[in-house]
Amino acid sequence: MTAIEILRNEHHVILEAMDLLEHQVHDIRRGDPFDTGFARWAVEFVQEFIDDAHHAKEEGVIFRLLASRGLALDSAPLADMLADHRSHRELAAEMARALGRGDARSFANCTLQLVELLRRHIRIENELVFNVAERLMTAADDVDAVQAFGRVVLERDGAMVRQRHLAAIECWRRALEGGRPPGA
């Protein structure tokens, strides 16, 4: 798998999780009890999988490479992508605070903003940023990028984090399809 294929694959996982988060928002808005087990996982996913693992690979490896090939980090599209990553971090922190207060409505509002942000952001990366990266990257760049991704994964225990979250997505998806929380 190339470096960009790895990132596109992670986007696929993130979009699957966003469908689950959106479902949770609708449940909260319908007046269902606040499922704090799901909310705790949601906060961990957006911080560990999306920010610590995925955004770290984009910012630390791919965007840096694109900058070295003439794409400015302080103008579109990379500046917009970096601003989205910062907004994502702020919304994830807001979700964690709302969960800590047991404030379901505020949690739902932050989550919905984050879902909308990520869907738009991923569309731009998939259709624009990654296409540019694939045109600019040589085979040697790709080898270097995949190796650098490996270092990000090692530093953050990413393989375990990925497995845990993939299993959680599957578990929550089945639970939602069955209309009950896992273990119930």
> Any contact of residue 91 with Fe ion (CB under 5 A)?
no
Minimum CB distance to Fe ion smaller for 124 or for 176: 124
Q: How many CB atoms lie within 10 A of CB 82?
A: 16
Give start and end residues of each alpha helix (H) in 30-180.
36-44, 56-57, 63-68, 78-101, 104-124, 130-136, 139-155, 158-178
Q: Pick the piece of the chain touching Fe ion (CB under 5 A) from 86-94, 123-131, 141-149, 154-162.
A: 123-131
User: Any residues with CB less than 8 A from the CB of 22 and at least 6 apart, and which?
Assistant: 111, 112, 115
Residues in the chain: 184
Which tokens in the block code for residue 27?
Answer: 């449940």
Minimum CB distance to Fe ion smaller for 79 or for 178: 79
User: Any residues with CB less than 8 A from the CB of 48 and at least 6 apart, and which?
Assistant: 161, 165
> Any contact of residue 94 with Fe ion (CB under 5 A)?
no
Identified binder of Fe ion from the candidate list 58, 94, 141, 142, rule CB under 5 A:
58
Q: Pick the piece of the chain touching Fe ion (CB under 5 A) from 22-30, 88-96, 124-132, 162-170.
A: 124-132
Q: How does DSSP classify residue 73?
A: T
> Any contact of residue 141 with Fe ion (CB under 5 A)?
no
Identified binder of Fe ion from the candidate list 125, 137, 142, 172, rule CB under 5 A:
125
Q: Pick the piece of the chain touching Fe ion (CB under 5 A) from 15-23, 57-65, 97-105, 144-152.
A: 57-65
> Any contact of residue 149 with Fe ion (CB under 5 A)?
no
Question: How many residues contact Fe ion, by CB under 5 A?
Answer: 2
| Residues contributing to the site for Fe ion (CB under 5 A) | 58, 125
